[in-house]
Amino acid sequence: MLDFIPVWQYNADTNNLNERTTGLVSYLATLFREPLAFFDQAIYRIAAVLIGLCLHEFAHAYVAYRCGDDTAKLAGRMTINPLAHLDPFGTLLMFFVGFGFARPVPINPYKFEGNRVRADFFVAIAGICMNIILFLLFTVLTIVCSTFMWDERVINEYGLSILVSYRYNAIWSIISGNAMNTFGEIIKISWMVPFVRLFAYTALVNLNLAIFNLLPIPPLDGYHVFNDLIFKGRFHLTRMGFRIAMGAVLVLSATGLLGRVISFCVYPIQDLVLLPVKAIWG
């Protein structure tokens, strides 16, 4: 299964929380306009993507193994070692262009035990579920660490939704590296900023990865999920069909169209996640 990895870039020229997958031109413009800020963010971006990517691929391989297919394990893919999962060209695209892809996890459906369609569904959904779990985990870490990092005035004025909502300038300032300049006087424990920055970015990346891979278009995981649920695995694309679909996904990612679809889903999901947070902390 081929997994695309979208990447997002903060627009430092505005105070608005713009949707981040704005297209190839905007992404590269940031590299040439603010190279230091670009590479500063790249450190956290790469770390966040590696966490989401490696565990996503590990989930595919592990569930396939539990379903009877040891192909990925024998190929050394049932691991969280990033070297086992990174595609050289896809990694370069991810860093310099703003989107990329990982190496496909080898799956042999003829080795599945029992119902092959059900096994294929479980393998496909495993990576998405892993990203959702990571999103929730790192959201909680962001909340807990931010509770100690911020001065009480921030919590009293904005509430805890400021800690995880992408709609507020505070969280974007942390992710983009501007927190100390913008909110330095009300940050109580400055050494926690890099950790909160990493946690917030990792939560963001994993939520977007989960939504992105749920899209029912080949070669994304959502195609397998949709095919197994609706068509009972009967719909098959030729190798040429997959290549054409892969090219279409690359083009849609480069133009930012897929990013706008993803951002349309991000905010309602975040609001849903914030409900228990608000219920617990007020």
List the structure tokens of 37.
Answer: 């800020």
C-alpha dist (Å) from residue 266 to 49, 216, 218, 249: 17, 17, 21, 19
pLDDT range class, residue 73, cuts 50, 70, 90: very high
209, 133 contact by CB (below 8 A): no
pLDDT at position 58, please?
94
Is residue 15 predicted with pLDDT exceeding 50? no
Check residues 233 and 79 and name the one with the higher pLDDT: 79
Strand ranges inside the chain, DSSP E = 4-6, 99-101
155, 147 contact by CB (below 8 A): yes
17, 62 contact by CB (below 8 A): no
Is residue 72 predicted with pLDDT exceeding 60? yes
Give the 3-state secondary structure percentages of the chain, helix then strand then coil, rounded to 5.
70, 5, 25
DSSP string, 21-90: ---HHHHHHHHHH-HHHHHHHHHHHHHHHHHHHHHHHHHHHHHHHHTT--HHHHTT-SS--GGGTB-HHH
Return the number of other C-beta atoms located less than 10 Å from residue 238's C-beta.
8
> Distance between CA 229 and CA 6 in Å, rounded?
25
Maximum Cα–Cα distance across the chain:
61
> Distance between CA 95 and CA 86 in Å, rounded?
12
pTM of the full structure: 0.79
pLDDT range class, residue 65, cuts 50, 70, 90: very high
Buried b (16+ CB within 10 A) or exposed e, 104-138: bbbbebeebeeebbebbbbbbbbbbebbbebbeeb
pLDDT at position 47, please?
86
Domain ranges of the chain: 4-281
Residues identified as active-site = 57
Is residue 17 predicted with pLDDT exceeding 50? no
Report the chain's mean pLDDT, rounded to a whole number: 76
List the structure tokens of 209.
Answer: 């990865």
> Distance between CA 186 and CA 184 in Å, rounded?
5
pLDDT at position 64, please?
94
Q: Give residue-wise pLDDT tens across range 110-142.
A: 999 989 999 999 999 999 999 999 999 998 888
List the structure tokens of 255.
Answer: 């133009």
pLDDT range class, residue 177, cuts 50, 70, 90: low
